Homo-oligomer: A and B are copies of this chain.
Amino acid sequence: MDQTKTAPHFKLIFATGNLHKLHEVKFILKEYPLIIEQRPLKGIEIQSNDLGEVAIASVLGAVQRSGAPIFVEDTGLFVEALKGFPGVFASYTYQTLGTTGLLKLLDGETNRRAVFKSAVAYCAPHNRPACFRGEVSGRISRQARGVHGFGFDAVFEPDPGGGQTFGEMGIDEKNRWSHRACAVRRFAAWLLTDGID
C-alpha cells in the first residue's frame, strides 16, 4: 500500500446509529492509519433496489451537516427464493420480522441461496461522493445459530465459511469473508492512495 500521501492519522466520520456496525467497521479499519469518529447523522434513506444509490443519497444528506469527510455503510440481504427479499430493506425486516420471520418464509424451501451485499459511500465537503461495494454468497441456515454479530448474521452461512453462520464466527473470522469487510477495505485502500489530497 502506497501511504506516501497519507497523513499519519486521517480523521473521518462514520455516520451510523448502529453500534454493532461501528464496532465491526472500527475493527476492520484498525490496520489503517485512520481515526474513526461516530455520529448518528445519516441523511435520508431512499427506496432503491441498488444499495450503492441508497448509500450515496445517505452520505450526500449527511455531509452537508458534518463539515468533515464522512462515510456511511448500507447492507442488503438478497434471498433467491424470495425474489431478492428483504434486499435493501434488511434492517427494517430484521427489526420487524427478525430471523424467525425470515426462517418462516423459507419453511419447506430447498433453495436457500442468498447474497449479503454492502455498499460504503464516502464524501468530503464540496467533493463528489465515491462508492465501494462488497458481497459474499451463501445460504440461509435452517435455524439461527451463534451469538456473534448482529442482524441476520445468525442465519447466514457464507460459502467460504465451512458451514458456520456469521453468528458462530468471531469478528476476525467474519471479517475474512464478509461483504462489509470487503467494501470497507476497498474504501480504505482507495482513501489511502487516491482519496486524500
Binding site for B on A (CB under 8 A): 44-48, 54, 57, 82-85, 87, 89, 92-93, 95-97, 101, 104-105, 107
Contact = CB atoms under 8 A, between A and B. Distances in A.
A143 to B, nearest CB: 17
Nearest to A92: B89
B96 A82 contact: yes
Given A44-B48, A47-B89, A85-B93, 20 more contacts: A44-B57, A45-B46, A45-B47, A46-B46, A47-B47, A47-B92, A82-B96, A83-B96, A84-B96, A85-B92, A85-B96, A85-B97, A85-B101, A87-B92, A89-B89, A97-B105, A101-B105, A104-B104, A104-B105, A105-B105
Contacts of A46: 44-47
Nearest to A102: B105
A13 B178 CA distance: 46
